[in-house]
Amino acid sequence: MAKQKKAPRPKAVTPKGFRDYFGHEVTERAEMLRRIAGVYHAYGFDALESSAVETLDALGKYLPDVDRPHAGVFAWEEEDDGWVALRYDLTAPLARVYAQHRNDLPTPYRRYAMGPVWRNEKPGPGRYRQFYQCDADTVGAASVAADAEICAMLSDALETVGIPRGDYIVRVNNRKVLNGVLEVMGVTDEDQAADVMRTIDKFDKVGEEGVRELLGKGRLDASGAYIDGVGLAPEQADPVVAFLTSKGTDNEETLANLRGAVGESAIGAEGVDELAQIAALLEAQSYGPDRIVIDPSVVRGLGYYTGPVFEAELTFEILDEKGRTRQFGSVAGGGRYDDLVKRFTGQPVPATGVSIGVDRLLAALREKGRIEAREQGPVVVTVMDRDRMADYQAMVGELRRAGIRAEVYLGNPKNFGNQLKYADKRQSPVAVIEGAEEKANGVVQIKDLVLGAKIAENATLEEWKERPSQFEVPRDQLVAKVREILDGQGD
């Protein structure tokens, strides 16, 4: 009988487009989200944790510019429920939740949600198929006061997590203003309007002349390839350029320029009026243009939104992977989307909200030095005698009850050096040692591992030689001495 081949061992690799998050990364994210949640809660928003799986019907059109069935999501077919998929954002689930439970929910319904989302897209550098989002939305309020509140709340959240005033700006625009510009241009075909919006989105890359060329016959890009244009007459580009260059020295001048850009368009004028109301509401709460500003350059996502749109941009400079100086860029965006819930109810339901890119905001906080790259590990109680494990467990119990993170070494205690190597790998600040002699004398040894590391690095400096890194104290002073050392390390 032929010998059966052993099944090959599975490869220990992360699937493409996914990653693992370790202790300090999870802790940093949780702390940042806790602070943001505190701001949202202070504004009267309630937490919502919706299902990670939705029906494909509930998700609708999954992502912008994705028309293929099931593209963009991780989907599978259930025997009874048909096709379902992992959620790709936190907004589509909100629309389903509100439509399903609207009779039991207050109107307006104000909720925030935080959690992972999944997108079946081609991964790339810094682009993963699973990532965290942090959203806040108001459903059922048509007033632009709801939009102004979202902008104010976003500003407060950024400052609360550690982005100081002056290092960010929340920019506000309105889809209705662009609709007015399209009306003045004479663009009524939906496909042509979409082409115009895509061209507008390239303004920051190609500039005014590039936009004019792309709205007309086309242009050569940097690689020498010819890009076909939208095919509009040269004069039709004037309202778009007026719209894109209407940013003034203050909100009042910007609004005046926008009124000129929309001309006689009623929908355009309505959009400018809404922006004026938002500016006035924010000014009444002391949110000046140093924090929130009317800015027509916010054009991303205009095809999805129905009214005001906003984007939070971090303005401080960083070095990119090639060593070039650039601004950090956008970390949050949102706006008014009054048609999403209508898919379920058949009736328009006003809604507005914002989504924060969790990973990008965390990266920004690291750039600003507002989050430590590595967190402090636990105090490690070493094991000198495995038969006295109860004594060591009693020690960590006392430390934990005092609010000090601590653990007993649970590996093989035979080699004491390995225990200290373990403590070093855990980034432990303190090690506690109690051998047979210490036990007999009623004392413990407490080793300051942070100071010990500094002494090892600077062994020639007298200031370190004079400072002890290990202390012998009575057993009943264990907690007090450990706390004293930890406090000293904090200073």
Which run of H or of E encompasses 331? Answer: strand 325-336
CATH number of the domain within which 176 lies = 3.30.930.10
DSSP state of 120: B
203 and 174 within one domain: yes
The whole-number pLDDT of residue 464 equals 47
My answer on whether 353 and 275 are in the same domain is yes
Domain with residue 425: its CATH number is 3.40.50.800
Q: What angle do CA 221, 222, 225 make, to 5 degrees?
A: 45
Strands 406-408 and 379-381: parallel
Same domain, 331 and 434: no
Is residue 408 within 8 Å of 396, Cβ to Cβ? yes
Strands, E, within 449-490: which ranges?
470-474
Q: What is the per-residue DSSP string for 84-114?
A: EEE-SSSHHHHHHHHHHHTTTS-SSEEEEEE
H or E segment and range at residue 212? helix 203-215
Question: Which pLDDT score is estimated for 236?
Answer: 86
Predicted pLDDT at 489:
87
Asked if 309 and 337 count as a contact pair (C-beta separation under 8 A), the reply is no
Task: Give the tokens for residue 60.
Answer: 């609708």
Rounded average pLDDT per 10-residue block, the chain, 491 residues: 77 92 90 96 97 90 57 86 90 95 96 95 85 96 97 97 94 94 86 83 83 86 80 85 89 94 94 97 95 88 85 84 76 92 91 95 86 77 94 96 96 92 93 95 94 72 63 95 90 64
Boundary (domain end) residue, out of 338, 367, 396: 367
464 and 344 both lie in a single domain: no
Spell out the residues 6+ positions from residue 297 whose beta carbon is closer than 8 angstroms to its own: 171, 173, 203, 204, 244, 247
Instruction: Tell me if 175 is assigned to some domain.
Output: yes
Phi, psi values for residue 369, rounded to 5°:
70, 25
The secondary structure of 337-368 as a DSSP string is -TTTTHHHHSS---EEEEEEEHHHHHHHHHHT
Q: Is residue 14 part of a domain?
A: no
Q: Which of 124, 302, 306 is nearest to 198 (CA)?
A: 302
Domain range enclosing 468:
379-490
* Same-domain check for residues 66 and 191: yes
State both tokens at 292.
Answer: 């929130």
| pLDDT score for 320 | 65
- The answer to whether 359 and 131 are in contact (CB under 8 A) is yes
Pair (345, 463) in one structural domain: no
Can you say whether the dihedral through the CA atoms of 86, 89, 90, 96 is positive or negative? negative
What is the spatial distance between Cα 323 and Cα 490, in angstroms, rounded to a whole number?
Answer: 33
398 lies in the same domain as 341: no
Is position 10 within any domain? no
Q: How are strands ordered across the β-sheet holding 379-381?
A: 406-408, 379-381, 430-433, 443-448, 470-474
Instruction: Report yes or no on 17 lying in a domain.
Output: no
Verify that 349 and 405 share a domain, yes or no.
no
Question: Does residue 334 sit within a domain?
Answer: yes
With 0-12 / 13-18 / 19 or more C-beta atoms within 10 angstroms meaning exposed / middle / buried, residue 243 is buried
3-state helix, strand, coil in the chain (%, to 5): 40, 20, 35
Q: How far apart are CA 194 and CA 99, in angstroms?
A: 29
3-class DSSP assignment, residue 472? strand
Omega before 123 cis (within 30°)? no
Residue matched to tokens 């600040």: 429
The secondary structure of residue 224, as a DSSP letter, is S
Q: Which two three-digit tokens encode residue 420?
A: 């200290």
The count of other CB atoms within 10 Å of the CB of residue 259 is 17
Tell whether 310 is covered by a domain.
yes
* Tokens representing residue 139 in the block: 């459903």
How much is the pLDDT for 448? Answer: 93
Residue 52 is classified by DSSP as S
The values of phi and psi at residue 116, to 5°, are -75, 150
Specify whether 64 is located in the same domain as 184.
yes
- The verdict on 106 and 180 lying in the same domain is yes
Q: Does residue 5 form part of some domain?
A: no
Distances (CA, A) of 85 to 52, 140, 323, 410: 8, 27, 40, 42
Residue 232, pLDDT score: 84
Q: Which of 322, 340, 367 is the last residue of a domain?
A: 367
* Chain mean position to CA 322: 24
- Structural domain count of the chain: 2
119 and 214 part of one domain: yes
118 plus 141 within the same structural domain: yes
Contact by Cβ (8 Å): 87, 116: no
Q: Is residue 254 part of a domain?
A: yes
Domain boundary (367, 389, 415) is at: 367
